[in-house]
Amino acid sequence: MDAGDPWMRAAILSSSATSSHLILQNLMGGAGPPRFEDKLGGMELVRELAFTVGARGDSKELTSLLKTLARQADEPTYMHYSVLAGLARGCKSRGQTLAVLLATADATVKDRATELMAGAVALGSDATRSPAERVSAMETFPYLPWDQVRTPLFATLSPQESRDVQRAAMKVLASRDEKEVAGEVISRWKQLTPPVREEGMTILLSRPVWLPLVVEALEQGNIPPGQLSIPHRARILAAADKGLVARAEKILGPAASSPRKEIVEKYRQALAQLASAKAAGDSAKGALVYRRECANCHQLGKEGFAVGPNLATIRHRSAQEILIHVLDPNREVSPDFVEYSILLTDGRTIAGLIASETDAGLTLRRSEGKEDTILRREIEQIASSGKSLMPEGVEQKVTPAEMADLVAFLLGTSAK
């Protein structure tokens, strides 16, 4: 089965609304784990099938599936953990926990599930196993007791661990509301790689109660201000707590409050002066600026992530038009790239553009193409800012000379 094909997975899921438990039992009832041409796609398929079983809430189906897993005497595999994580998330979607379900199960099922949970913690912590297997096991962590997962979670935030494993740990931490989470992430900040830091800051800013710790870390130098991305900087300076904003402004400078027309004109004049001094933009240097400030949300050729508009479409634009789009992103905003902020029932706030939407939920897309799929029953409030996902304030991280380089790179010529 080509589970790596998203259309194939979608077809299976859409045609198995009432039979997902039977498909899973057939897949998981063999002597070993099901074989898929694409292991990651297979994990996604069984996880989504298990989610539909858990969300449907039929106790007979749930018990039957758990018994199928319980009958297998082999060592648990990554597929077992994908099923367990899907079941737990499905149960949560209707306000029930897997623990409550297991409380009514027979002893064999309960013991097997307990073994699976313990095995998930062991596998997620085992540095000798593949990142894919460990990530699969860690998907069960949001539904396990905190005292079982806190130590292995924080231990994985280490430069010795793969990026995928560290990001999986961050994703789990985002689902927890324990007070110590923010402090532990910040204490390890300087040993995190840039992609993991980006994910970590997104998590730290997802809960208002953690923002004071972020501002304090900026004040104390534990989080260097220069490591904040433009979107994260904008979120801090747009916080509801004006006292925290005032403290943050002393370090980060004020939010982009100058009239955008003035900023655009200032940079236009600066670029004109550079050109007249025969210091027109350097395309090679501009590529570095693109990778530093733009690639997380804009694709150009084979580089970058397709979140905002593809930058290949602006090759026919003038330097003046590019300046306007970069420095005044809200002058023209396509409906496809409007930012939405969603308050979840667990207290988190997630921001991004709406990538897709169904009757059951929606998917938000954010920096680096990361996506958060949210069920409608998990949404407390949703609001559109009416503004572009791209924040204002680029001028605070990109100098006029760097802007000239960036424009030259985007146009494929010297800046004009």
Q: Are residues 272 and 207 in the same domain?
A: no
Q: Are residues 235 and 297 in the same domain?
A: no
Last residue of a domain, one of 144, 168, 200: 144
Is residue 72 very low, low, confident or very high in pLDDT (cuts 50, 70, 90)? low
Last residue of a domain, one of 195, 227, 255: 255
Is residue 27 very low, low, confident or very high in pLDDT (cuts 50, 70, 90)? confident
Q: Are residues 250 and 264 in the same domain?
A: no
N residues, the chain: 416
Q: Are residues 103 and 117 in the same domain?
A: yes
Residue 12 has pLDDT above 70, yes or no: no
Q: What pLDDT score was predicted for residue 92?
A: 82
Q: What pLDDT score was predicted for residue 125?
A: 92
Q: In angstroms, rounded to a whole number, what is the distance separating the alpha carbons of residues 226 and 216?
A: 15
3-class DSSP assignment, residue 199: helix
Q: Is residue 416 part of a domain?
A: no
Number of domains observed in the structure of the chain: 4
Average pLDDT, the chain: 84
Q: What pLDDT score was predicted for residue 415?
A: 44
Residue 86 has pLDDT above 90, yes or no: no
Q: What pLDDT score was predicted for residue 205?
A: 94
Q: Is residue 197 part of a domain?
A: yes
Tell me the per-residue pLDDT of 220-230, one tens digit each, with 9 for 90 and over. 999 999 889 88
Q: In angstroms, rounded to a whole number, what is the distance separating the alpha carbons of residues 315 and 200?
A: 34
Can you read off the two tokens belonging to residue 159?
Answer: 């430069």
| DSSP codes of every residue in 104-121 | TS-HHHHHHHHHHHHHHH
Which range, of 3-7, 145-149, 409-413, averages the lowest pLDDT? Answer: 3-7
Q: Are 50 and 86 in contact (CB under 8 A)?
A: yes
Q: What pLDDT score was predicted for residue 30?
A: 62
Q: Are residues 265 and 368 in the same domain?
A: no
Q: Are residues 110 and 5 in the same domain?
A: yes
Residue 358 has pLDDT above 60, yes or no: yes
Can you read off the two tokens belonging to residue 164?
Answer: 């995928």
Q: Is residue 284 part of a domain?
A: yes
Can you read off the two tokens belonging to residue 121?
Answer: 């913690």
Q: Are residues 380 and 400 in the same domain?
A: no
> Containing domain of residue 231, as a range?
153-255
Q: Are residues 23 and 135 in the same domain?
A: yes
199-209 average pLDDT score: 93
Q: Are residues 211 and 270 in the same domain?
A: no
Number of CB atoms found within 10 A of residue 246's CB: 11
Tell me the per-residue pLDDT of 130-144, one tens digit each, with 9 for 90 and over. 898 899 889 889 888
Q: Are residues 374 and 400 in the same domain?
A: no
Q: Are residues 165 and 227 in the same domain?
A: yes
Q: Is residue 322 part of a domain?
A: yes
Q: What pLDDT score was predicted for residue 279?
A: 63
Nearest in space to 195 (alpha carbons), one of 374, 370, 393, 396: 370
Q: What pLDDT score was predicted for residue 315?
A: 81
Q: Are residues 312 and 365 in the same domain?
A: no
Which range, of 103-112, 256-265, 399-408, averages the lowest pLDDT? Answer: 103-112
Q: In angstroms, rounded to a whole number, what is the distance separating the alpha carbons of residues 270 and 267?
A: 5
